[in-house]
Chain A
Amino acid sequence: NAGVTQTPKFRVLKTGQSMTLLCAQDMNHEYMYWYRQDPGMGLRLIHYSVGEGTTAKGEVPDGYNVSRLKKQNFLLGLESAAPSQTSVYFCASSYTTSMRNTEAFFGQGTRLTVV
């Protein structure tokens, strides 16, 4: 079982460039999440999805867009990258709260640097 896979693992962008981070899970989870982790700030929620075709904003959504066209994939887009978006990005997934085991599983992270 691959679990949660993030692509790419590392990326350097120039200010103003765009990119898409891909998160794929093979556990048939309904919920998927994108977080960013910065020193001293902990993990902050960017966007999340409670099912295919649905998305919702988290704590720090500005500058990011997401899409969940397929249940197994959750894409995070940066339309015009800024140095403030330099961070480590984590994707996670879990079952809905109607299931017995709602444990969340995380990807290995994407280290993004915007210069």
Chain B
Amino acid sequence: KQEVTQIPAALSVPEGENLVLNCSFTDSAIYNLQWFRQDPGKGLTSLLLIQSSQREQTSGRLNASLDKSSGRSTLYIAASQPGDSATYLCAAQQAGTALIFGKGTTLSVSS
């Protein structure tokens, strides 16, 4: 059974700092790994999708990496801004099944 863990559960940083969010999964036979953002009381917004054959994906100030052999993915946020404050969720998917989510990291960026 796939289990996804995100550490830390919460993170507070000053504006402008670079930061890394961590995601680990127990079964390396994944098809893809996806990072989402969720604002309070809102739905999920997809940030980055990494297919199993890829090592990383970039979108603006965001960079996500995937290391299947070690069961880890990281989300790197460069030059953080107060608008980045949200909960970040990672989800791993295996063939023929649904996405399994971690519990998320709640990020607070202070100005």
Residues on A lying within 8 angstroms of B by beta carbon are 31, 33, 35, 40-45, 48, 50, 58, 90, 92, 94, 97, 100-109
CB of B99 within 8 Å of the partner chain? yes
Do A97 and B31 touch across chains, with their CB atoms under 8 A apart?
Answer: yes
CB of B101 within 8 Å of the partner chain? yes
Do A45 and B100 touch across chains, with their CB atoms under 8 A apart?
Answer: yes
Question: In the docked arrangement, what's the CA distance between A40 and B89, Å?
Answer: 13
Do A104 and B43 touch across chains, with their CB atoms under 8 A apart?
Answer: no
- A97-B95, A102-B93, A103-B49 known; A109 vs B103 contact (CB < 8 Å): no
CB of B63 within 8 Å of the partner chain? no
- A42-B89, A106-B43 known; A31 vs B31 contact (CB < 8 Å): no
Question: In the docked arrangement, what's the CA distance between A48 and B100, Å?
Answer: 12
Question: In the docked arrangement, what's the CA distance between A107 and B49, Å?
Answer: 18
Residues on B lying within 8 angstroms of A by beta carbon are 31-32, 34, 36, 42-44, 46, 49, 51, 89, 91, 93, 95-104
Do B32 and A102 touch across chains, with their CB atoms under 8 A apart?
Answer: yes
- A42-B104, A90-B43, A90-B44 known; A102 vs B49 contact (CB < 8 Å): yes
- A90-B43, A102-B93 known; A43 vs B101 contact (CB < 8 Å): yes
CB-nearest residue of chain B relative to A44?
Answer: B101
Do B100 and A101 touch across chains, with their CB atoms under 8 A apart?
Answer: no
Do A102 and B89 touch across chains, with their CB atoms under 8 A apart?
Answer: no
Do B99 and A92 touch across chains, with their CB atoms under 8 A apart?
Answer: yes
Contacts of B102 in A (CB 8 A): 42
Contacts of A108 in B (CB 8 A): 42-43
CB-nearest residue of chain B relative to A34?
Answer: B98
- A42-B104, A97-B31, A102-B31 known; A48 vs B49 contact (CB < 8 Å): no
